[in-house]
Amino acid sequence: MRLEVGSIVEAKVTGITNFGAFVELPEGKKGMVHISEVAPTYVEKIADHLSVGQQVKVKVLSIGEDGKISLSIKKAMEREKPQFTPKKNRTSQQPATASKGPGSFEWQPKRNDGNFEDMLSRFKQTSDEKISALKKGEAAPRRRKPQK
């Protein structure tokens, strides 16, 4: 099996340093996973995520002219995630249900409160009220900053 940039292969961790992990690839080749490519989260200590002898999947990022192979465990994981599949088109008669979003935030369905003219009318009314409140606020005397 010939290593190519972008391919994902099985590797065995052979050494751990402060800046990365060395792995043995198929055909006896060696490569390095930089600390920033070990996990999709912040990695303070590589030993918290990897151990010598562990089998991991790695993605080949680059192969230098000098034979150095740069690898990523993080990017190999991205390919394993299931791909997003869009839901079927909903009709306006079917209400959308709230779904869990990132960070357990409850996403609310988009509301359709009438036609465009009704929405524009409500916007204009709200805008006029806000402008009126601002004008009333301008009539009050402004305080000056004390001189030093």
pLDDT of residue 70: 92
pLDDT at 117: 82
Q: 3-state class of 141 per DSSP?
A: coil
pLDDT of residue 14: 94
Looking at residue 145, its pLDDT comes to 65
| pTM confidence score | 0.51
Supply the DSSP string of 76-120, one letter for each residue: HHHHHSPPP-PPPPPPTTSPPPPEE-GGG-EEPPPP--S-HHHHH
Report the candidate in 20, 53, 26 with the shortest Cα–Cα distance to residue 39.
20
Domains identified in the chain and CATH numbers = 8-80 (2.40.50.140)
- pLDDT, averaged per 10 consecutive residues of the chain (148 residues), comes to 83 93 90 91 90 92 89 81 52 49 55 73 88 75 62
pLDDT at position 71, please?
Answer: 93
